[in-house]
Amino acid sequence: MRRRNLVLMLVAFTLVLAACASTGSDDSTTTTAAQAAATTQAPDTGGDTATTTAAPAATTTTAPDPTADWPEEILFGFIPSEKQEKLADTVQPYMDYLTEELGITFEDVITADYNGLVVAMGAGNADLGAFGPFGYIQAQEQYPGITVLIQSIRFGSDLYHGQWFTNDASICEDEPVVGAYEWVDGVPTILDPTDVSALQVGWAYNDGVLGPETLDDGTEVTQGLVCTAPLEAVVGKSIAFTSATSTSGGVFPQLQLFNLGIDIEEDLEYSYLTSHDATVAAVYNGDFDIGLSFDDARRTLRKEKTDVGEKVIVFNITDDIPNDVVAVREGLPESLQLAIFEATKAYLDTEEGEAVFDEIYGWTDIRLARDEDFDVVREAAVKLGVAEE
C-alpha cells in the first residue's frame, strides 16, 4: 500500500541526510564522488616525471527507510463518550483516512470504559488510546512506558470543564436563561454562548459564522439553558456520574464535593453510567435529578432530542481541566508517532474530518501534548485517594 504525503517527506529528508554521511546497507542508495583523486606515474620519456589523475572513485551510501520499523497494523483505542456501536461507526472514516495516508492498517478498538482502555494499552492490545486527562495519568501510573502524543484543541482552547446539569429548575436561584458557563476572575460566570470555548447545544458554525443550529430537515435545535445554583443543592439528589475515572464526569466534580465536605457515599445517591451522552439522556428522561459530563455534551443528543438544551439545564462547572489526549504505547516508533500527528491535523482541516471529530469529541484542532500540563490532574487524583502521590 502506498505511503503518501508525510511518509514521502520523511523519506526525502532521510535521503538528504544520506548524501552527507555514509550509513549501513538498505534498499535505497546514493552515489558520491571520492574526495581524493588517485594518482599514477607515467612511463619515463627522458623528461620530467609526469603524473595522471584517475577518475574519482565512487562510494555508495545508503539512506535508511524511516518507515522500516513501522508495524503493519495499528490498533487505536477509544473510550465511549457515546454508545459504543455508534462510536465505532463514527470513527471509521478517521481510521480509513489514516490507513490511506500512512500505508498501514488502522483498526479501532472500542472499550467499555476508561479502565478497559488502560488495560488494553498496557497489554499491547492497543497501540494508541484516546483518553480523558485522568485516564491518561492512570494509564501512565500503571504502565510508565505510555506517553502522551496529541492534545485536543476546541475553538482555540486547550482547557475545558465538567458541567453540572439538572432537570429540576427549582434548584436554580434565578430563572434559567440562554447562556454558557466560563471562569471569569476565579468565579464561574454565565456568558453569552458565543463568548465561551465549548460549542453549546443549539449553536453551529455556518460558513464560519456561529449562529443558531437548524438540522437538515429544517428542525431548529433549542439553545441551551443555564442557571445559577450552589453545589450544596445536590445533597439528597440522585446523581449520574460518567465514570469514576472520567476527569470531567467523575474526578473533578467529586473533588468539588470533597472540598465542600459533601460525602458522596452518605449525602447523595449516585451511579456511574459509563458515557457522557448516557448521563445527559438519564437526566433528560428523568431517571436522575442531576448529571455530569464535559461541556457541552448535551449536543450529543440534539439530533434525536432537539429540546435537550431546554430540558437539561446547566447550573455549575468544575475547575479548568487540560483537554483530552491521544497516548501511545511504549515502543511505538517516533517517526510513526509524528506521522500520525501530522495526518490527524491534516484530517481535521478537511470537511469530513471536522464533522467526524465534532461528533466524537468536539475537537477543532490539535497540538503536540506536554506531560507536565497534567500535573493538576495528578494532584486532584491524589487528593481524592484514587492515585498515589
**CA-based torsion, 74, 75, 79, 85: positive or negative:** positive
Q: What is the mean pLDDT of residues 229-241?
A: 96
The domains found in the chain, sorted by start residue, are 73-156+323-384 (3.40.190.10), 160-321 (3.40.190.10)
Model confidence band, residue 23 (pLDDT cutoffs 50, 70, 90): very low
> Are residues 279 and 249 in contact, defined by beta-carbon separation less than 8 angstroms?
yes
Assign 3-class secondary structure to 58-98: EEEEEECCCCCCCCCEEEEEECCCCCHHHHHHHHHHHHHHH
Res 112: pLDDT = 79
**Of the candidate ranges 8-17, 218-227, 265-274, 284-293, the one whose mean pLDDT is the lowest:** 8-17
Res 60: pLDDT = 57
**Of the candidate ranges 2-11, 102-111, 272-281, the one whose mean pLDDT is the lowest:** 2-11
Q: What is the mean pLDDT of residues 69-74?
A: 94
Does residue 43 have a pLDDT over 80?
no
Res 111: pLDDT = 87
Query: HSE-up of 320 (CA within 13 Å, CB side)?
Result: 16
Res 16: pLDDT = 38
Percent above pLDDT 70 for the chain: 81
Does residue 216 have a pLDDT over 50?
yes
Model confidence band, residue 85 (pLDDT cutoffs 50, 70, 90): low
Model confidence band, residue 90 (pLDDT cutoffs 50, 70, 90): confident
State the burial class of residue 40 (Cβ atoms within 10 Å of its Cβ: 0-12, 13-18, 19+): exposed
User: Nearest Cα to 101, choosing from 12, 3, 11, 8?
Assistant: 3
Higher local confidence (pLDDT), 254 or 197: 254
> Are residues 80 and 41 in contact, defined by beta-carbon separation less than 8 angstroms?
no
Q: Where are the beta strands (DSSP E) in 167-306?
A: 177-178, 180-184, 187-191, 203-206, 209-212, 225-226, 238-241, 269-272, 290-294
Higher local confidence (pLDDT), 311 or 117: 311
Bridge partners, residue 205, by sequence = 210
The pLDDT tens digits of the residues spanning 146-182 come to 999 999 999 889 999 999 999 999 999 999 999 999 9
Number of neighbours of residue 17 by Cβ within 10 angstroms: 12
Q: What is the mean pLDDT of residues 120-131?
A: 92
User: CB-based contacts of 344: which residues, under 8 Å, 6+ apart?
Assistant: 94, 98, 150, 326, 366
Q: How far apart are CA 326 and CA 332, in angstroms?
A: 13
Model confidence band, residue 88 (pLDDT cutoffs 50, 70, 90): confident
Res 100: pLDDT = 97
Does residue 233 have a pLDDT over 70?
yes
User: Nearest Cα to 357, choosing from 348, 349, 366?
Assistant: 348
Query: HSE-up of 332 (CA within 13 Å, CB side)?
Result: 27
Res 115: pLDDT = 82
Pairing state between β 105-110 and 73-78: parallel
Which grid cell sits at 371? 506531560
Q: How far apart are CA 323 and CA 316, in angstroms?
A: 19
> Are residues 185 and 313 in contact, defined by beta-carbon separation less than 8 angstroms?
no
